[in-house]
Structure 1
């Protein structure tokens, strides 16, 4: 969900047979998923020259999107896929990247739908070209109307409502929901979900997610203006860390909670600087999206039957259970 810095940096991934074999051992039955009809070498886990494009709205160097990409790379290595990752936070530019993939005649496309309207045209072009397209991370309410084959991610409205309930349990009274990208459907759904179930007051604060110093300043300013705010809810791990700074600068007693997780945020939860995080498992989203395209090509499989999303969250990470996540975060997969 996080998009602090627009980027357009394609990176082609080559096959890694040894890693593919190692990962395959960890995935039950992965060598038996192919069929003889589609690919002569599908049965041994090879994509047979299959090329997949993963196109997101993420920013270059963003730890969240690094996790998505790492998951996609692991699936590509296992399946013998030639994977290309590109991203751009600008919806028109992201749409252009999808069109580039269509022109390149890839065998499958995985795409995020942070701004669904911008993606309708390129997705239609992909379908017309016979290229299967799956969704991940953003656009859970838009993937079926957009004509995508499958979707992997978190129901952001459900996650938001769960956070609202959690804040009630924590006896919070006034929540500030920080939105770092105006118009991003996932972020808006989260904050709307919080407002729906939280018994206290909820207000949204829109900030420039491309500038962390500006985020800190904006949150600190609002906390100084209203001392009744006792909870800051951010929509990304790095923004939570900025909010922690803002609380200190403002001399506020507000607590900080967040959607999304990374290794630095895990440490913040361990220290008690952040009350809790909602983990949507971005590594898993990237992995499942790429693997789904391989499964569709080699065995005609469609996760969720093409009618239901495959949910990867929400999962709450608190000081009580963070140790179970910490070792995976340190390894760069959570």
Structure 2
């Protein structure tokens, strides 16, 4: 599975704008996500009608996705969602930005996209002010801009058209409530890759607020771990070695969550009454939840953060701005030992573990 995931990531990083349209259109038109996509396009049509020609001939629009951690495995399914939507809608895309959360590099990538006359731009607004000017510049040039994965702060004047992603503060608050249900008192470490960045800082704020509101005698210590998986793991190990009385370790980003799971396993922390949890579905995280070393992780559905962003851009461009844009909450789902098996028993593009286009069969009652 590891090799397949590596192959998947290699394909994603090299496939921007390549000619996989027909294959992906055939796969996607048969099922998953089509109903939601077509509903967003303003009406329900059959897959057969869609395959014929749902829209008149149009320019092959290009959407530029600026990202803050371009090589992070979290965004592998996001890029597959982008690919699939572009293939279905006859669009191109570019994946660019910064590999290590450098806001200046992201702004430069946005300016390059504007200069190249991109048809649409998508960007995680990870800084409260840095993107206001570039987004307004793009809008003034007639280029629609959408935020995905991270949004401008509530009440800000950022002019982006819509946000596609999780309600970040709420997800953190709900994680804090889960922490309170697991830990009665003592030291709790809250780990964050890059403090202040708007894709994860609101989660940390929400978790801290929920813990404080509980009134329990829980001491919170916040630890910055860094932008890469290796440095995150190193910081988490160092924290535990210096705080072996800790009662819980929880993270607000994917890499730190995986690091916590690894430290929990290496030091056999569940046997010592230590609890752990965090965000996202990196394979190691999912496996170690199954094995009992991590209490939970939170699924924010990265695939749809790419897919729906492309759909919103397409509907906006196709309708001359008459349709959309609209905020889309990509959701929150706690994954625990009792619910983790489907994540282990499938290997698909939807969670970034396979390059193969497929429809995943399911059966039984649907649980909300």
- TM-score greater than 0.5 by the shorter chain: yes
What is the TM-score of this pair, normalised by structure 1?
0.85
Cα 1:97/1:170, change in 2 over 3 Å: same
Superposition pairs for residues 276-315 of structure 1, below 5 Å?
276-299=296-319, 300-304=322-326, 309-315=327-333
Superposition pairs for residues 1-334 of structure 1, below 5 Å?
12-15=16-19, 16-26=21-31, 27-28=34-35, 30=38, 33=41, 43-44=54-55, 48-60=59-71, 62-88=72-98, 89-141=101-153, 145-173=157-185, 174-198=187-211, 199=214, 200-210=218-228, 212=230, 214-247=231-264, 252=269, 253=272, 254-299=274-319, 300-304=322-326, 309-328=327-346, 330-334=347-351
Once residues 125 and 40 of structure 2 are traced to their aligned partners in structure 1, the CA distance between those partners, rounded to angstroms, is 32
Per-residue deviation, 1:172: 4.7
What is the TM-score of this pair, normalised by structure 2?
0.77
Deviates more, 1:228-237 or 1:154-163: 228-237
Q: Secondary structure at the match of 2:191?
A: strand
Q: Do the aligned partners of 1:47 and 1:294 also contact (CA within 8 Å) in 2?
A: no
Once residues 345 and 113 of structure 2 are traced to their aligned partners in structure 1, the CA distance between those partners, rounded to angstroms, is 36
Q: Do the aligned partners of 2:152 and 2:158 also contact (CA within 8 Å) in 1?
A: no
Deviates more, 1:178-187 or 1:151-160: 178-187
Residues 32-80 of structure 1, C-alpha deviation per residue, up to 9 Å, x if partnerless? 9489xxxxx97348763111111111232x2101121111111111111
Per-residue deviation, 1:204: 0.6
Partner of 1:6: none
Cα 1:209/1:59, change in 2 over 3 Å: same
Instruction: State the superposition RMSD in angstroms.
Output: 2.7
Gaps of 5+ in 2: 1-12, 44-51, 352-368
